[in-house]
Amino acid sequence: MIDSLLACGLVLGGFALARALSARLGHPPWASPVLITALGVAGVLALLGIAPDRFAAAALPIRWLLGPALVALALVIDANRGLLRAQALPVLAAILGGAIVGVTTAIAGARLLGLDPLLVEALATKTVTTPFTVAIMKATGGPLPLAAALSVLTGVIGALTVPWLFDRLGWRDHAARSLALGVSSHIVGTDWLTRRDAKAGGLAALAFVLTGTVVALVLVPLWPFLFG
């Protein structure tokens, strides 16, 4: 109980500080509050000599809140109803195409590089956000904690690099950028985008929810053939 209060306090307090710092700097992608908080928490744990397992167990309440927060994303999706109605086909094509490329490049790339089989399984869900990763790994028996961590790390990397890449390419198309960030960098990318532009964030939220659903529905039945 005390462990949980301390762990949740550390994460929430750290996140509030990191967010304030990021806002002060003008929300640059490199100042990701999620990444800053994680590094800070890891530093505190190392300093105090607390085992990662003990922290993981103590921080369960805050992880659990991710479910209700996922439900709350309905607000941002609802804000994009107009665009959805007008461009349902291109939006669905983008999400399907992105999801297929995301899963196949991760598995094929990991195998080509000769990575540990457990790592290959964990990478299969890198393009879906953590709640979906958890559901898929529970259904398939894959490496849950590793996959969840890699999924968040993917989001951090995407939020740092995807907007930069699109700027370099001169792609200013708002909807395409939002969908691309939502599919490739899911919750972390969406969180970052929502702070700058709530409407774009809504489209990204829609993208990662649909991506997660599609990947979960397709990957679970295919799992025994891919990794059996």
Residues 55-84 that bind another protein (CB under 8 A): 55-56, 59-60, 62-63, 65-78, 81, 83
Shortest reach from residue 225's CB to another protein, in Å: 15
Burial tier of 194 (Cβ tally within 10 Å: 0-12, 13-18, 19+)? middle
Q: Which is nearer to another protein, 6 or 83 (CB)?
A: 83
- How many residues contact another protein, by CB under 8 A? 109
Name residues contacting another protein, limited to 178-197 (CB under 8 A).
Answer: 179-181, 183-185, 187-188, 191, 194
Convert 47-86 to b/e letters by CB count within 10 Å (16 or more is b).
Answer: eeebeeeebeebbeebeeeeeeebeebeebbebbeebeee
| 187 in Cβ contact with 130 (< 8 Å) | yes
Site for another protein in 20-39 (CB under 8 A): 33-35, 37-38
To the nearest whole angstrom, how small is the minimum distance from the Cβ of residue 19 to another protein?
A: 7
Provide the phi-psi class of 11: left if phi over 0, else alpha when psi is between -120 and 50, else beta. alpha
Specify whether the CB–CB gap between 131 and 67 falls below 8 A: yes
Using CB under 8 A as the binding rule, whether residue 202 contacts another protein is answered as no
Q: Does 89 bind another protein (CB under 8 A)?
A: yes
2-8 long-range contacts, CB within 8 A, separation 24+: 3/54, 3/57, 3/58, 4/58, 4/59, 4/60, 4/61, 6/58, 7/55, 7/58, 7/59, 7/62, 8/58, 8/59, 8/61, 8/62
- Does 171 interact with another protein (rule: CB under 8 A)? yes
Of the residues 20, 101, 222, 226, which one makes contact with another protein according to CB under 8 A = 101
Per CB under 8 A, the list member of 20, 23, 25, 97 interacting with another protein is: 97
Q: How far is the CB of 148 from another protein (least distance, A)?
A: 4
Residues 42, 117, 141, 226: which binds another protein (CB under 8 A)? Answer: 42
CB of 156 to another protein, least distance (A): 7
CA distances from 48 to 45, 174, 223 (A): 5, 45, 40
Shortest distance in whole angstroms from residue 227 CB to another protein: 15
Helix (H) or strand (E) holding 121: helix 117-123
Residues numbered 111-150 forming contacts with another protein, rule: CB under 8 A: 113, 115-116, 118-119, 123, 126-127, 130-132, 134-136, 139, 145-146, 148-150
Task: Give the nearer residue to another protein in terms of CB position, either 25 or 173.
Answer: 173
